[in-house]
Structure 1
Amino acid sequence: MNTRRFLHILCMACTMLSLPCLVQAQGFPSRPVKLVVPFPAGSATDMAARLMAQQLQSAMGQSFVVENKPGAGGSIAAMEVIRSAPDGHTLLFSSNSAAASNVALLKSMPYDPLKDFSPVAGIGENMLVLMVKADHPARTAQELVAHVAQRPGQVSAGYGSSSSQVSIAVFNRIGKVDAQMVPYKGIPLAVNDVLGGVVDFTFVDLGNAIAQSRGGRMRALGITAPKRSPLVADWPALAETLPGFDITAWFAVLGPAGMPREVVDKLHGAITQVLRSAEAREKLAGIGIQPMALNPSELRAFMASEVSKWIRLVRESNIQPE
């Protein structure tokens, strides 16, 4: 067989091997796409997922359905996606909990976020807000630190995500206090118990914090970002009185490992298109989210760095894995 004929046959074989992926990408999505959310309705992750689902439905001409699967810090939702067919029709709308910080917070991690997912796209970043009930005696973060210090073992704080859990631990560490930490399946549930007087304070995602503050039911004492945000310029950064306080949550879309690159690229392209639109950016800002456009390769590298960061934060804050 001459060289020219051999190369011709080789090219034909490569084309035939790649054809199924190309056909799959061209026909994708062929049915409704499920976005699995690891937290309950009303959480920042849920609100961002529903906003993106609506926008992606318009961009891709197919339904995007949000399914809430809270519990185990996002592991229940993560495992559902990992076990699904890698065809792009079941995706995880993940927060940093499921995609990074669970590695540090769980004793027995049922999956490896760097091996068991196909990164698709970054979505956005979100800060948290330290909040108390509107009639709480503390009006500043410093006053809350003093309030907790004067009542050792008597003050409790609710958390509903890894970001809020670590935020409470960092508050305790930097403030040299010992607020008792109470777990919930989502931040909205912790907010309800702050309002009901069951726990004393919590850390709330920015969108919900703005809504609670405007409603007059809760008081914001500071944000977890290292500097003040133009979205809430009158709210201080906790770092102003608790030096070194710096915690940011984030969201991304992930699929099960082994998704065809053509499907990943098609999804990433649609998400990028949405994130560039003025309408989506305005709506994301309305719930306190700053777009974070990352391609699959960038998202994989970002997740790896975040795993390392959260391991460090958890160790520094002396949180015992559960």
Structure 2
Amino acid sequence: GLAEDYPQRQIRIIVPFPAGAGPDQVARLIGQHLQDAFGEPVVVENRAGALGSLGAQQVAHASPDGYTLLMGTNTTHASNVATLKDLPYDPVKDFSPIIRTTTTAMVLLVKPEFPAKDLAQFLDYAKTHRNLTAGYGSGASQLSLAQLQSRGGVGLVAASYRGVPQAMTDVMAGVLDLTFGDFSVAIPQMQGGTLRGLGVTSPDRNELLPNLPALAEAMPGFETTIWYGLLAPANTPEQVVKKLYQETEKILAAPDTRQRLAKVGVIVATLPPDQFGAFIKNEIVRWTADAKAAGIEPQ
């Protein structure tokens, strides 16, 4: 049948974020390897907009034949449920999960001159300075700031930015006191000495920034894990899903792939289809609860 012979023509991976963003870099690396493995062209298409929901909707409504795939993330498949009204797709019912590919996290960032030099000093300082200014540029950074308020008791005045890099620029300029930056954009600034990191949002210390504490060490339960994964439209044949899972897993297991991805701030952390599906359901519950605790209303 058709599933055994898959693929026989070009495969499209829709990335619902701009070129150069973390999910785009991971999708292009995987796409190149799948093209080599399958001997059929694999093209990556950027369909940015509405927090990834435009691209996700496109794949949700595509033919379930394995020729249109989505590089989904915690934004498209978890936080959008909590932050967007009238989501034009169902992250569970409309997709067949293939593989969680990678995880990454965010860093709490201040400028080097900020009075507090580490996490303990920062939380002390925040007790007496109740109007710290903060910026967010993504669902993950918005929820990280929310947890700083709910789990850390930090008083913040938060402003929305078009993206995380713009918020980081305003911290460097002294317009904002703090923000959260993705590893991929934060690590170069920390290495260059233009920003100081105080802690990471992963549940434990992170192999990419081993010297920084997890924020959960001081604020139990604090966690924002950013993840990417490959998904197909619902009802894609099981054999097609399995073939895509096995090939992608093989690529991600290669040491050179791990090293290349570590350079862009992401860690290989694969889950097979069924576990990835269960993980997404848990993530929706967790992000929704965090948004509610923070008083974030769907827009």
Scaled by the length of structure 1, the TM-score of the pair is 0.83
Q: Determine if the alignment matches structure 1 residue 287 to structure 2 residue 233.
A: no
The equivalent position to 2:227 in structure 1, one of 250, 259, 267, is: 250
Q: Give the stretch that moved more between structures: 136-145 or 227-236.
A: 136-145
What is the letter of the counterpart of residue 128 of structure 1? M
Residue aligning to 2:34: 56
- Runs (5+) with no aligned partner, structure 2: none
Q: Give the stretch that moved more between structures: 244-253 or 61-70.
A: 61-70
The equivalent position to 1:224 in structure 2, one of 195, 201, 217, is: 201
Identical-residue share of aligned pairs (%): 38
Task: Report how far residue 151 of structure 1 moved.
Answer: 5.1
Cα distance 1:35–1:187, how it changes in 2: closer, same or farther (>3 A)?
farther
Task: Report how far residue 150 of structure 1 moved.
Answer: 5.0
Query: What is the DSSP-based 3-state SS (H/G/I as helix, E as strand, rest coil) of the residue aligned with 2:71?
Result: strand
Query: What is the DSSP-based 3-state SS (H/G/I as helix, E as strand, rest coil) of the residue aligned with 1:177?
Result: coil
Structure 2 distance, partners of 1:29, 1:254, is 19
Residue aligning to 2:98: 120
For residues 155-210 of structure 1, the C-alpha deviation after alignment (integer angstroms, 9 at most, x for no partner) is: 122232x2211101001122323323333444334334434444432212223222
Residue aligning to 2:9: 30
Spell out the pairing of 1:268-279 with structure 2 (5 A cutoff). 268-279=245-256
Query: What is the DSSP-based 3-state SS (H/G/I as helix, E as strand, rest coil) of the residue aligned with 1:80?
Result: helix
1:222–1:238 CA contact under 8 A, matched in 2: yes
Structure 1 distance, partners of 2:176, 2:247, is 42
Residue aligning to 1:9: none
Structure 2 distance, partners of 1:59, 1:186, is 35
Structure 1 distance, partners of 2:227, 2:244, is 19
Residue aligning to 1:3: none
Q: Determine if the alignment matches structure 1 residue 66 to structure 2 residue 44.
A: yes
Which stretches of structure 1, 4 residues or more, deviate above 6 A after TM superposition?
Answer: none
For residues 95-135 of structure 1, the C-alpha deviation after alignment (integer angstroms, 9 at most, x for no partner) is: 11111221122232221111011211110221211112344
Q: Determine if the alignment matches structure 1 residue 315 to structure 2 residue 292.
A: yes
Cα distance 1:128–1:154, how it changes in 2: closer, same or farther (>3 A)?
closer
Query: What is the DSSP-based 3-state SS (H/G/I as helix, E as strand, rest coil) of the residue aligned with 1:211?
Result: helix
For residues 23-47 of structure 1, the C-alpha deviation after alignment (integer angstroms, 9 at most, x for no partner) is: xx5141512x332223333432233
Residue aligning to 2:64: 86
What is the letter of the counterpart of residue 97 of structure 2? P
Structure 1 distance, partners of 2:60, 2:112, is 42
Residue aligning to 1:100: 78
Spell out the pairing of 1:6-21 with structure 2 (5 A cutoff). 19=1, 21=2
Q: Determine if the alignment matches structure 1 residue 110 to structure 2 residue 88.
A: yes
The equivalent position to 1:181 in structure 2, one of 158, 167, 170, is: 158
RMSD across aligned C-alpha pairs, in angstroms? Answer: 2.4
What is the letter of the counterpart of residue 259 of structure 1? T
Structure 2 distance, partners of 1:139, 1:48, is 34
Structure 1 distance, partners of 2:142, 2:266, is 20
Structure 2 distance, partners of 1:87, 1:189, is 39
Larger radius of gyration: 1
Structure 2 distance, partners of 1:57, 1:192, is 38
- Runs (5+) with no aligned partner, structure 1: 1-18
Query: What is the DSSP-based 3-state SS (H/G/I as helix, E as strand, rest coil) of the residue aligned with 1:231?
Result: coil
Spell out the pairing of 1:296-315 with structure 2 (5 A cutoff). 296-315=273-292
